[in-house]
């Protein structure tokens, strides 16, 4: 009798245990399925968030904020190693020249070890798709959030209440236009399209050194170029060689200039030669290699840069050299340029753009220079004077609104 009772209790226990196990696995399966649904939902939301919306100004503003915050690295899985070089491209709205630049980048030996950063102040699907088509290295796109495209009828765009460019200050005050009290050094009032390039350049410098997450801990040079530049196939190797020359032969050099404005004239003779000089905007503003050390020097001149009445970033930089930056900037220059300028139109020349002719000229020059690429060693052949070079400011930057916005980039990235 007692045995039968124990047997009955044991069977009941087994039934309860089986039910409990089935219930446990049922609950776990439901929870796992729910987690999968949540993950899939999050992935879908992430994909939607990652898409740049071009439809309206408001959509573009939101997309720019999201993209600059999230900083998605294109081709990151394909090229997982830390970059050996970083190249930053300032992009406006010349897709034909940008296409030429991208084609040149693809031919650079060692480009797979480079991080390319495209900094945009004009937003279009054509340009976006062009950059998204890059598969040969890691790519990051950043977006200038104070573009005149985003503010077409208000500052920093052209507010209809702004003073006309050529009105006299007396008439401007009578008219009561917004910036009547602040013409430039030549009595002219601001033109938004003219001021944007300097704004973008200074914002980009801040953002790349301070906010690009993948560059935290990166202490190498960052090379700054523009959409109408063209890189030679040995650009990456030449940059590495130049850095070594800087270490051994020009320890006090502040800047690298991998390009010049002489094209490929005399390239066979000059390919392996470098020189040192004082930095000049007319000679050394193409393919600039900037270190974090120099960046911090320039940040000490934030107010001086942002209030100097010249709409050109490079002439402004030349003014800082030897004034706010007490020691004039010294540059190590490639005599055989590794960065070419292809643009035959731009800020001042709006018409008669012929990128196909530029491509023909580049192709012909490269064919001629091919055998002089990849020199085994570089030498320093000349040492020019390093001194402050004063110049007549160009104006176009007298409005205090431009000064204030520019100064605040350091805090409002």
* Binding site per annotation, positions for Mn(2+): 228, 341
> Which pair of tokens denotes residue 15?
């039934």
Binding residues for substrate: 90-94, 121, 196-200
Q: How far apart are CA 172 and CA 208, in angstroms?
A: 39
Nearest CA to 333 among 398, 236, 245, 232?
Answer: 245
Binding residues: 90-94, 121, 196-200, 228, 341
Do residues 225 and 341 touch, judged by C-beta distance below 8 A?
no
């Amino acid at each position: 009798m007692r045995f039968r009772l124990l047997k009955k209790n044991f069977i009941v226990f087994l039934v309860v245990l089986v039910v409990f196990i089935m219930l446990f696995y049922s609950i776990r399966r439901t929870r796992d399925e729910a987690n999968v649904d949540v993950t899939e939902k999050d992935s879908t939301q992430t994909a939607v968030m990652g898409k740049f919306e071009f439809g309206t100004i408001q959509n573009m503003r939101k997309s720019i904020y999201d993209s600059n915050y999230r900083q998605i690295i294109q081709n990151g899985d394909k090229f997982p190693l830390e970059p050996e070089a970083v190249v930053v491209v300032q992009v406006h709205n010349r897709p034909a020249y940008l296409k030429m630049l991208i084609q040149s980048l693809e031919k650079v030996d060692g480009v797979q070890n480079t991080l390319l950063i495209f900094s945009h102040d004009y937003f279009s699907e054509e340009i976006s798709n062009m950059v998204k088509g890059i598969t040969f290295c890691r790519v990051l796109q950043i977006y200038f959030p104070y573009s005149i495209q985003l503010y077409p009828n208000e500052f920093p765009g052209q507010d209809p209440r702004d003073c006309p460019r050529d009105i006299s200050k007396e008439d401007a005050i009578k008219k009561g236009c917004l910036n009547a009290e602040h013409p430039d050094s030549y009595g002219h009032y601001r033109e938004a399209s003219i001021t944007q390039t300097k704004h973008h350049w200074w914002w980009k410098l801040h953002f790349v050194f301070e906010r690009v997450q993948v560059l935290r801990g990166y202490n190498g040079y960052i090379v700054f170029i523009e959409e109408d530049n063209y890189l030679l196939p040995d650009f990456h190797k030449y940059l590495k060689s130049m850095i070594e020359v800087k270490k051994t032969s020009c320890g006090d050099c502040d800047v690298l200039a991998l390009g010049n404005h002489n094209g490929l004239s005399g390239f066979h003779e000059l390919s392996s030669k470098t020189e040192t000089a004082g930095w000049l905007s007319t000679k050394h503003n193409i393919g600039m290699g900037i270190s974090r050390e120099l960046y911090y020097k320039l940040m000490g001149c934030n107010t001086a840069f942002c209030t100097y009445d010249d709409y050109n970033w490079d002439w402004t930089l030349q003014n800082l050299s030897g004034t706010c930056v007490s020691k004039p900037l010294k540059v190590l220059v490639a005599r055989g340029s590794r960065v070419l300028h292809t643009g035959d139109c731009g800020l001042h020349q709006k018409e008669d753009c012929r990128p196909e002719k530029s491509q023909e000229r580049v192709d012909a020059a490269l064919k001629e220079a091919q055998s002089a690429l990849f020199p085994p060693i570089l030498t320093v052949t000349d040492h020019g004077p390093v001194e402050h070079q004063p110049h007549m400011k160009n104006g176009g930057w007298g409005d205090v609104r431009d000064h204030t916005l520019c100064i605040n980039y350091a805090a409002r990235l």
